[in-house]
Each structure stands twice: as structure tokens, then as C-alpha cells.
Amino acid sequence: METTLRGVGVSHGVAIGEVRHMGTAVLEPPAKQIPAEEAEREQGRARQAVDAVAADLMARGNLAGGEAQAVLEAQAMMAQDPELMADVERRIAVGSTAERAVYDAFAAYRELLANAGEYLAGRVADLDDVRNRIVARLLGVPMPGVPDSDEPYVLVARDLAPADTALLDPTLVLGFVTEEGGPTSHSAILARALGVPAVVALPGAGELAEGTVIAVDGSTGEIFVDPTEDKKAQLEASAAERKAALSASTGPGATADGHKVPLLANVGGPADVPAAVEAGAEGVGLFRTEFLFLDDSKKAPSEEKQVAAYRQVLEAFPEGRVVVRVLDAGADKPLDFLTPADEPNPALGVRGLRTLLDHPDVLRTQLSALAKAAEGLPVHLEVMAPMVADRADAKAFADACRAAGLRAKFGAMVEIPSAALRARSILQEVEFLSLGTNDLAQYTFAADRQVGAVSRLQDPWQPALLDLVALSAEAARAEGSSCGVCGEAAADPLLACVLTGLGVTSLSMGSASIPYVRATLAKYTLAQCERAAAAARATDSAEDAREAARAVLSGE
């Protein structure tokens, strides 16, 4: 009998197939004592296992490239954290086996993350994955991970670590469903980059029996268990219709009546550029520069290394617009040479622009590298600061850009509610705004963007979030400035229409989402988008906002 479950759809498309569960996590090693004379040997085993796992994660990152590479390199750094390793060796010295010492040291670190504030709780899946890989190597058992199968399947897991998501084979993994996670978790972002349909935050996902046929709708978040033949045909027809619409839609982003909405790509580095070009991106709306700095958490990359990497991206979009976000360090992206290790709540502490203003040499080098990378190129370079709170922040960033001789537009990311509320003030110092809806939702609702339990508050359809987008867009229009969206909200085709109706002037997203958004925008006029936006803002919940917009656009 067909039943329907609902989670959070995070990657478009439909997948129909049998359930296969993620490999079982490593069991807790037994707590047994070792003789003192074996301690040195066990410490050596632990170091070898840690180094091997870190090397494997780095290799997986190199294979995956792009955003996935940055995520996996961060995991490799986590595996080799010197404080964690020192704790492991201390536990071995007082009698623990290598595998038990690793297990207990990671458990203690888990507790530290929890006490540091909920913002870091979303990294627990990453931490657990590193622990499981090290313990598995020490025990000599298979690594937990994606199941072996010769037939295509739908992968079901409690959560997916980046190391697993990054190397999913789309020819075998038709889609995936997780019990944990949120719309802006690493797994969701990487799923969109892969173009794999995905639903997260589905209560009871682990109870789906192995081999059960399910249909996954990554757009609506619906899971149909034992779907009827009619339901399968309906979903497949919808998917075919969507595919045809995507193929027919080409060229710049625009509404049906010709209102232009440039569709840009979010990229993490040069490896993401080919997919953006293939998708028809009109430029880059968010160039995350963290990937360069994650290579070595002990020191900043040289100016020469930065120039080479930036120029690769800039050269790919001649005459196009490339918006670069300067280093966003802190919170879940700590760097040893920049970020404090003892902040009680890093998400509310020194991160983003605050970090750079505390280390002006790092900011100055990056801005100088961007200026040199753009020399002689016809690209329209724009540079923006993350985590701008007020006009003083905006002025400090603009002054730094001018001092570095940067010939580009200077902008501010709107990720803090204060920036949306005082957007006109900020625009007295900078020339454009870009809304990071992931963090803006997090700070508006006090809801960690990585925690599945609060994913309803991370839903970008929340009317309060739409109100802040509208405030920012209205301020930009009044000041004659542009106001784009580069958060994950832009990847939702229906929401893209609403954002356009709110006055947003460009949309930036993962490359795989661009065709969906382009095709959907082309179906509606600007007036329809404006009516849909007004209807969504008039509701009191994300679900009602979504349905209200859909009703307007479908003519109901």
C-alpha cells in the first residue's frame, strides 16, 4: 500500500528505486587495558591510522574537486588536529588501546563542540565520520560507507558525511534520503552540485526496509513508499516534462515579459568553473575563496598562489560579472593562524569581516592579489565582505579595498538581520548587496543551519526571511544599487520567482540548479512574480508561503 512521507527537498529531480542503507557505523571498541610497554607501539598505530585516513580524505577531495574538495580537506585537517592527537596519545599512555583512545578522544571533542554552541553541532556528522574511519582502520574492518551494488538504488542514511556524498556515482545512486541534515548542510550542497535528487530531515528514514521501492521527489521533499504504477508514471511524466523544459530554455535569465534576472553560479574554486560555463551561467555571484586557505591552516597562501587561482576563474567569464567574497574564516571554518580557539560561541564571535579587520595584513594581501589577477581582463570584478553588521563595517571594508588599489565594485553580504534593517545606511559606503540567505536565516531564527531538528526554521520560505529580503531589495532600489541573492534560496525555482518579485536583481546558485531556475522564470511575467511574492509574505508559515506562491503562479 502506497504511503507518503515528507522531509525537506534539497536537490531537484525524481528518483525511483530500491532502498539501500549506508554501511553500519563502527561499533564501540571494547575498553581494555594494555601493558605499559605496549603504549609506544599503540601510539604509533594511532598516528599511522590518522595519517592514512587524512591522506584518503585528501585524495577523495582531489578526485571530487570544487566545493567537495574544500569540505574534505577540512575533514582531513580535523583528523590530524594536534590537540586531538595529543589526547589520543595521553589516553594510550595510561592504558587504552589505540582504537579505544581514538573513540574516547573524539567523544570528548564532541562534547566540547556541543558546549561551544549549537552552531558547531552540524559538524558532528563530519567528526563521527573521521572517527569511524580511523577506528575501522585500527580494527581492520571495512570502512563504513556507500553500499556495494551492481544495480541502481536509492541510498538511505541517518546522515551522509561529505566523504561519502562527494564521490557518489550518479549512475548507481539514483537519489538519497537522510534522517538528519538540513537544506544548507554540506550533504545538501554537494547533492545539488552532483545533480542527485535528495531529501533530508526525514523522520524515521532509517526504518525504511532494505529493498523497499520508494520514489523520491527532491523538489517537494515527498517520499512515496511502495508507489503505485500510476504514481510512478505520474512522477516520471513530470520529470520528463521538466527535462524537456530545461532543454528548451537557453540564454540569459529573464521573466516571460523580458525582465532580466542574471543567473550566476556559486563556485568554490577553479574546479567548479567548467560546470558553471556548461550550465550557461552569466557570471559568478559567489566565489568562495576559503578553498585556498584550507590547504594549510597554519598560514595564509602567498599572494602569488592567490593571483594564479583567482585569475583562472576570472578568465572563464570574459565580459561577465564575477563577485568574489573575501575570506570568511571562523565558526565552522577555523584557521589556526586567524581564529581564536577558546571562543564560547564562535558563530557569534570573531568571524568573517571581523576576523579580517583583526588581521589587516591577510585582507590587504587578498585584495592586492585580486587586483593583480584582474589586470588586463575585461571581466567585471566585484568584491564583497562577509558578515557585515553595520555602516562602520562597510566603511572599513571599502577603505581597505581602496587602500589596496582595487579597481572593482565593493559590496556587503547581508547575513545579519541588522544589515537588512539598515541596508540604506550600509549602501552609503558600498555599491551593492548580496544576500546570504543561509546565514541570514540562521541568525534571524536562532536556528543552526546544520541541525535537522530546527530545519523548519531554516526554510528560506519563512515569511520573516522574505520580509528581510524585501527590505534589502527596497533599500538597494532606493539607492540605485543592485541586490542579489547568493544563498541556497536562489536554487529553488519557485522561490527564485518570488525573490524576483521582491525586487532581487540577480540570483546565484550551484551550477546544476541554473537550468531549472532559468526555465521556471521564463514561464512567468514580472507582475506574476510580484503577486506571488506579496501572497507569500502575507502568510505566517513557510509551508503556507510556498503554497500561496504556487497558487498565484498556477492561476488557482
Per the DSSP assignment, residues forming a β-bridge with 432 are: 411, 482
Q: What are phi and psi of 193, to 5 degrees?
A: -65, -35
Residue 197 CB contacts under 8 Å (≥ 6 apart), including other chains: 11, 12, 13, 14, 15, 174, 175, 176, 191, 216, 217, 218
**What whole-number distance in Å separates Cα of residue 402 and Cα of residue 146?**
50
Q: What are the cell numbers at 302? A: 602567498
Contact 544, 525 (CB under 8 A): no
Nearest in space to 192 (alpha carbons), one of 489, 439, 413 = 489
Residue 313 CB contacts under 8 Å (≥ 6 apart), including other chains: 267, 269, 270, 273, 284, 287, 322
**What whole-number distance in Å separates Cα of residue 459 and Cα of residue 442?**
10
The region, left, alpha or beta by phi > 0 then psi within -120 to 50, assigned to residue 201 is left
**What whole-number distance in Å separates Cα of residue 496 and Cα of residue 511?**
14
**What whole-number distance in Å separates Cα of residue 415 and Cα of residue 420?**
8
Q: Specify the residue for cell string 565520520.
A: 129
**What whole-number distance in Å separates Cα of residue 389 and Cα of residue 342?**
23
Per the DSSP assignment, residues forming a β-bridge with 263 are: 507
| Active-site residue, selected from the candidate residues 359, 401, 483, 486 | 486
Per the DSSP assignment, residues forming a β-bridge with 381 are: 322
Q: What are the cell numbers at 287? A: 566565489
Cα 361 to the chain's mean position, in Å?
Answer: 28
Q: How far is CA 415 from CA 74, 142, 388, 438, in A?
A: 23, 42, 7, 8
Q: How many residues does the chain have?
A: 556
Q: How many CB atoms lie within 10 A of CB 125?
A: 22
What letter does residue 149 receive in the DSSP assignment? -
What does the angle CA 203 – CA 204 – CA 206 come to, to the nearest 5 degrees? 125
| Dihedral over alpha carbons 477, 320, 256, 500 (to 10 degrees) | -30
Answer yes or no: 483 catalytic.
Answer: no
Contact 66, 169 (CB under 8 A): no
Q: Edge-to-edge strand order for the sheet containing 222-225?
A: 3-6, 222-225, 213-217, 14-21, 153-157, 173-178, 198-200, 8-11
Q: What are phi and psi of 345, to 5 degrees?
A: -145, 90
Q: How far is CA 252 from CA 321, 460, 494, in A?
A: 13, 25, 18
Answer yes or no: 12 catalytic.
Answer: no
Residues with catalytic function: 186, 486
